[in-house]
């Protein structure tokens, strides 16, 4: 018999899991997501979350309390009589009343190999740290921040030039498959959990705009990891002097290259840039308000001569 599920998620990353659980035949009794947010130039329009829109397409009831401080919101959750809550990037630290508000508790799909990279930005932080492997874990939730016991692990290799966007999509799909497998085992009474290791804990802090500027005074490998960990959003950036004034340009892809020089110096006609140790080649860029372009196309409209110093 299919489980009665409350699904809780907000961004596009969560949609694949919602759709996979619905396709597996489970009874999704309600979908919880973050409330619609102001959008548009003037902020006058309210924009529904990707999960909200996906739930509507599936004909599922949607609820979006601001938080669960009100007793009526907690009681409404419990009154659904669900077997389990499935949580994927919901966006709130859930109170105990919600974690225990279903018969079997709450299970979270988290995009890291816990206990490494607990917290808000595990995919970006894994790439920025130069990790060569990450994964999706299905974890039974407790009151801590990503501290609960692990039920299922799916490992994913991080390729040397892989960007945040590429890894995001790979983990999104792996996470959907992992959660369907975990819920099937839970339904069969065969989902065991293992406590997380006490060593190796790292926290994935939310990305701050102040850390997005590229610093060529760092080793090339660190600069490369910084660029790909922030691509395509929010985007690592540098400034290029165009028509006598500095213009901000996002760098959406790069690769390690041969070369040496003063940090930030353009070494050739293909945007090879010297770092503190080694060099990188910028391979995809985007001007403010422009389209993402491969380096060759970018240089046709924006020549950057060898010897130029970028900052």
| pLDDT tens, residue by residue, 229-285 | 999 999 999 999 877 788 999 999 999 999 999 999 999 999 999 999 999 999 999
Least confident of 43-47, 114-118, 281-285, 295-299: 43-47
Under DSSP, the state recorded for 211 is G
Residue 311 has a pLDDT of 84
Q: Is the peptide bond before 115 cis (omega within 30 degrees of 0)?
A: yes
pLDDT above 90: percentage of residues in the chain: 92
| pLDDT tens, residue by residue, 192-241 | 999 999 999 999 999 999 999 999 999 999 999 999 999 999 999 999 98
112 is in an annotated binding site: yes
Residue 1 has a pLDDT of 64
Q: Closest Cα to residue 142, out of 168, 122, 176, 114?
A: 114
Considering the entire predicted model, what is its pTM?
A: 0.95
Mean of the pLDDT values across residues 116-141?
Answer: 98
Mean of the pLDDT values across residues 53-61?
Answer: 98
114 is in an annotated binding site: yes
pLDDT at 43 over 80: no
Residue 2 has a pLDDT of 83
Name the pLDDT band for 301 (thresholds 50, 70, 90): confident
pLDDT at 82 over 90: yes
Name the pLDDT band for 110 (thresholds 50, 70, 90): very high
115 is in an annotated binding site: yes
Domains and CATH numbers, the chain: 4-203 (3.40.50.170), 209-301 (3.10.25.10)
Q: What is the dihedral of CA 40, 43, 46, 47, to 10 degrees?
A: 40
Cβ-Cβ contacts under 8 Å for 244 (sequence gap 6 or more) = none
Residue 39 has a pLDDT of 79
**What DSSP letter does each residue of 253-275 carry, written as one string?**
EEEEE----STTBB-STT-EEE-
- Of 39 and 62, more confident: 62
Cβ-Cβ contacts under 8 Å for 224 (sequence gap 6 or more) = 161, 254, 255, 256, 280
SS3 102: coil
Inter-CA distances, 102 with 2, 20, 97, 194, Å: 15, 21, 9, 21
113 is in an annotated binding site: yes
């Amino acid at each position: 018999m299919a489980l009665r599920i409350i699904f809780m998620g907000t961004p596009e990353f969560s949609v694949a899991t919602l759709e996979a659980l619905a396709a597996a035949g489970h009874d999704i009794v309600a979908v919880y997501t973050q409330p619609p947010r102001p959008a548009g130039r003037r902020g006058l329009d309210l924009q529904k979350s990707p999960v909200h829109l996906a739930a509507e397409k599936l004909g599922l009831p949607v609820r979006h309390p601001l938080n669960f401080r009100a007793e009526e919101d907690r009681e409404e959750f419990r009154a659904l009589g669900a077997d389990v809550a499935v949580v994927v990037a919901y966006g709130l630290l859930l109170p105990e009343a919600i974690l225990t508000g279903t018969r079997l508790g709450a299970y979270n799909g988290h995009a890291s190999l816990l206990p490494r990279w607990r917290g808000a930005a595990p995919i970006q932080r894994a790439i920025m740290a130069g990790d060569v492997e990450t994964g999706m874990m299905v974890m039974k939730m407790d009151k801590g921040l990503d501290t609960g016991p692990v039920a299922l692990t799916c490992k994913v290799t991080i390729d040397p030039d892989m960007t945040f966007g590429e890894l995001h999509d790979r983990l999104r799909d792996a996470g959907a498959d992992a959660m369907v497998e975990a819920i099937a085992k839970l339904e069969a009474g065969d989902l065991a959990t293992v406590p997380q290791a006490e060593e190796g804990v790292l926290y994935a802090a939310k990305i701050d705009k102040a850390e997005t500027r590229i610093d060529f005074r760092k080793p090339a490998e660190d600069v490369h990891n910084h660029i790909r960990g922030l691509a395509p959003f929010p985007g690592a950036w540098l400034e290029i002097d165009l028509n006598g004034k500095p213009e901000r340009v996002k760098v959406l892809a790069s690769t390690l290259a041969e070369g040496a020089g003063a940090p930030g110096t353009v070494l050739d006609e293909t945007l090879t840039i010297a770092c503190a140790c080694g060099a990188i080649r910028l391979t995809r860029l985007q001007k403010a308000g422009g389209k993402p372009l491969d380096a060759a196309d970018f240089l046709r409209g924006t020549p950057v001569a060898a010897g130029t110093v970028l900052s």
